[in-house]
Structure 1
């Protein structure tokens, strides 16, 4: 890993020098070799994994829409070039889903251990920026959740950024055509009817509470709890 990082960083260290020497000429683009494997060096060593050992869980870093789109494009291109391949790690892999043999798996989960409702959160101001591949991923995920007999809803956030009129008066949220169109796009992305999608406005820089914003948020919570109650009704039957 360190060898690969040095391989990537060393050319970048030359940029200030090149810029100083070529002030009247444009600097040629230096590729970061992101589509090829690093070279082997005499000091490379093998890291053998212990069979049956518990794999550590790393931190999951949140990505922006632009970062997710770039990652999806890079992944698809790298898979075509065969510079990477689908992960076979038991830590998290679609080829090896969580099962009874997974460390920490509960064979007889209690009611508190179960998921009662799944809530998808979609940024309404960026709903048209999601990569097309996300739709297939969301629908595949939703099918799996449906097979577990778990209800699903969605929250459409940042509606005040979708429509200027709604930004000034949040009570117009259900009258805005722009927000209705954003809900339709969110439904197409998730493969979900708009009746399951609830528009909300989040607090950002406000110092005081706003009654109409609170009402919208409480309606969303009530919408979620209704489907949680349905879960318990289905479970009791």
Structure 2
């Protein structure tokens, strides 16, 4: 793979490294549509990318103590603990975890299941079947999903230290999911995890993340492989070895979280107007 040439590095994202104002902003956030009860986010990516760990980290940030109820995939076995369409609520925000994507047609979550979930056809706690995607003939299938049933922002998750090792088949599945989401206008971002594993400067001080040439190179590699624009890629670090709250880690995750909240809200605002127009026409 040929990476795009990177000129002299400059800081292009600025974070105020204080979590309290950021938490207050998100907690006081008002959804722009009265008919939408919560903003819904779906995380997808290869097994072991850190999808479940992201949910654990965000819950930890908001609850002020370590949250480990969302089981994570084993880095050694490559097995996904997530077998169903599970919901994790944080205030007025809902995160949905899915099985990891794997190489092969009948391994890992079926890409059609993720597309159906984004469109709102998959009910909460639905158990995934890698060899049989949910369809309209399934009794659990939601035939006429409302804006409340749909996903409002799709979050791709890729580990920074394993980008080059992700199988092309898995990358192709991610691209197809992104294409399906784009076709219905769902906003998309990419969370790049395990940044501390590719940059010693970032490992020592997470506030240096947007000054790291290595992190920028990994972001470019993500962009080139998956097709996500650089300004939609957010390098993050999950709680892993830490046993105490880490203010800098919290701020980095909160910055990414705030961006997807606004993206999801913009989508809800736009599509709630469409629903109202349809209701008026029907009357």
Contact kept? 1:157, 1:201, Cα under 8 Å: yes
Q: 2:222 aligns with which of 172, 175, 186?
A: 186
| Larger of the two Rg values belongs to structure | 1
Q: Aligned residue pairs: how many? A: 158
The 5-angstrom pairing of residues 152-163 of structure 1 reads: 152-163=188-199
Relative distance call for 1:132 and 1:171 in structure 2 (3 A) is: same
Q: Is the 8 A contact 1:138 1:189 kept in 2?
A: no
Contact 1:65 1:129 (8 Å CA) reproduced: no
Return the structure number with greater strand share.
2
**Higher relative contact order (CA closer than 8 Å, sequence separation 6+):** 2
Task: Name the structure with the higher helix share.
Answer: 1
Gaps in structure 1 of 5+ consecutive residues = 1-60, 77-90
CA change 1:207–1:97 in 2 (3 A) is closer
Aligned residue number for residue 229 of structure 1:
265
From 113, 129, 139, the equivalent of 2:165 is 129
Counterpart Cα distance in 1 of 2:241 and 2:74:
22
Q: SS of 1:208's equivalent? A: coil
Match status 1:202 vs 2:203: no
CA distance, structure 2, for counterparts of residue 62 and residue 202 of structure 1: 14
* Structure 1 contact 134–189 (Cα < 8 Å) conserved: no
Task: Give runs of aligned pairs for residues 139-178 of structure 1, distance below 5 A.
Answer: 139-178=175-214
Deviations 1:53-78 (A, max 9, x none): xxxxxxxx95759959xx73xx59xx
Q: Structure 2 vs 1, CA of residues 63 and 202 (structure 1 numbering), >3 Å: closer, same or farther?
A: closer
Structure 2 residue aligned with 1:107 = 143
* Change in 2 beyond 3 A, CA 1:110/1:173: same
Q: Residue in 2 aligned with 1:119?
A: 155
Please identify runs of 4+ aligned residues in structure 1 that moved more than 4 A: 61-68
| TM-score, length of structure 1 as denominator length | 0.59
Aligned-pair CA distance for 1:189: 2.3
- Structure 2's unaligned 5+ residue stretches are 1-71, 80-101, 106-128, 274-283
- CA-based RMSD of the aligned residues comes to 2.7
1:134 Cα shift? 2.5
